[in-house]
Amino acid sequence: METMHRTKIRELQLERLQHIVRYCYENVPFYHQRFDSIGLKPEHIRTLEDVRLIPPTTKADLRDNYPFGLFAVPRSKVVRIHASSGTTGKPTVVGYTKNDLEMWAEIMARIISAAGVTEKDTAQICFGYGLFTGALGLHYGLEKVGAAVIPASSGNSEKQLMLMKDFGTTTLIATPTYAMYLGELANELGYKPADFQLRVGLFGSEGCTTELRSKIEKRLGLFATDNYGMSELIGPGVSGECELRVGLHFAEDHFLPEIVDPETLEPRAEGESGELIVTTLTKEAMPLLRYRTRDLTRITYEPCKCGRTTARMEKVMGRSDDMLKIRGVNVFPSQIESVIMQIKQISPHYMLYIRREGYHDTLEVQVELVDGSLLTSFRELEELTQTIRAKLRVVLGIDAKVKLVGPKTIERFAGGKAKRIVDLRDMKA
């Protein structure tokens, strides 16, 4: 699959595209109505480029059809459900059939093998097990490769290091920031590089500059690849680097990528950067046609020196919306806004400060009191702060620091686009 001639890849993609378009039209009322409203029929898709006739699917469409409205199969065929952050309080849901899970394990196994991991390896998964797709995605792929999996999950870092040493972990699965944090902690706790047998790191779920990656590699004594994916499409597995690390190989037999201008949605030429749009070609439970990932990147179709002929995407360069990744968790300012709006003692004005303390990302939410007299009551201030923190935790899934400031002290951005996010993280640090 990974070394097919490009003509063959395109033939396979077209065959699968035509099938999935008809499948969506016949099984997902949302797509049926959308096609009918513009007079589009599945048979109008005659070439791969005809995919552009289909209107894009967005996160808002997922939200409007929450939780299972976009499923194409009866509930009896769904064997797994995952979710990630939505733009408001409700998560974005994704379902899998048995075949979807099999396909997921297969594409994961390919990426894991491309990074050089084999059945001789012992892999410690430090992604959180749960609704997040990272842990279980890697888990089944690693088992398929035959590696020994340690489902350590996230957190409890001292124990992570102990397991890493005692179990002879060779492969670390984590976000780059958590990997860096583990490296720092190992140093602080007096571990020596020789205590570990680490060899390979499969990082992902958030961006990482090559500078930061080199630092992590040095500190932990491993070689790390970058891996990309998103829950809506399947989870990790959409693309990943091989050992040459010259772009992330796209699982093109299951996902059809396009790069478009994020404003006009016009196609961008090969090699030009823009927003990535992806059509799932084989998914059964929740196929998506032209899903707007909001991730900015570029794609080359030049075969890689490793022998793989699949399209390669560059590391994600940014987002075309305001989503933030904080400690591997997707955070939308609109989620924070939805919490703030519910609390009558504070005004709708807020600022978000994201900092990197050591290798730990922190989020501070500054909110403004409506009534300045509250500032004199420590107890009331403390209670209000804790209430806001607890509500934010429920919606965001991470802890935020809450700072209450006096009335009318937060900038008003009259006439301009509000700049409420101050990202102070130095990604090269």
Q: Which residues bind ligand DLL (CB under 6 A)?
A: 84, 127, 133-134, 204-207, 226-231, 235-236, 293, 295, 316, 319, 325, 330
Helix (H) or strand (E) holding 346: strand 346-357
Q: How far is the CB of 294 from ligand DLL (least distance, A)?
A: 6
Q: Between residues 134 and 201, which has the closer beta carbon with respect to ligand DLL?
A: 134
Residue 228 · residue 313 · CB < 8 Å = yes
Backbone angles phi, psi at 249, to 5 degrees: -65, 125
Residue 115 or 405: which CB sits closer to ligand DLL? 115
Smallest gap from Cβ 290 to ligand DLL, in A, equals 15
Min dist CB 175 to ligand DLL, Å, is 8
> 149 near 142, Cβ under 8 Å?
yes
Q: Which residue number, 212 or 340, has a Cβ lying nearer to ligand DLL? A: 212
How far CA 394 is from CA of 282, 338, 341, 350, 391, in Å, comes to 34, 12, 15, 19, 5
293/310 with CB nearer ligand DLL = 293
From edge to edge, which strands make up the β-sheet containing 401-405? 401-405, 360-369, 346-357, 421-423
Least spacing, CB of residue 133 vs ligand DLL, in Å: 5
Q: How far apart are CA 71 and CA 425, in angstroms?
A: 38
Nearest CB to ligand DLL, comparing residues 177 and 347 = 177
Q: Which residue sits closest to ligand DLL, CB atoms considered?
A: 204
Token code pair at residue 125: 């998964």
Nearer to ligand DLL, 336 or 384 (CB): 336
Alpha carbon of residue 381 to chain centroid = 36
Dihedral through CA 388, CA 392, CA 393, CA 398, nearest 10? -130
Cβ closest to ligand DLL, residue 279 vs residue 330: 330
Looking at the DSSP bridge assignments, the partners of residue 297 are: 274
Report in angstroms how near the CB of residue 349 gets to ligand DLL at its nearest: 27
Q: From the CB of 176, what's the least distance to ligand DLL, in Å?
A: 9
Residue type, 336: I
Amino acid 15 reads E
**Under 8 Å between Cβ of 206 and 176:** yes
Write down the least CB distance from residue 250 to ligand DLL, Å: 13
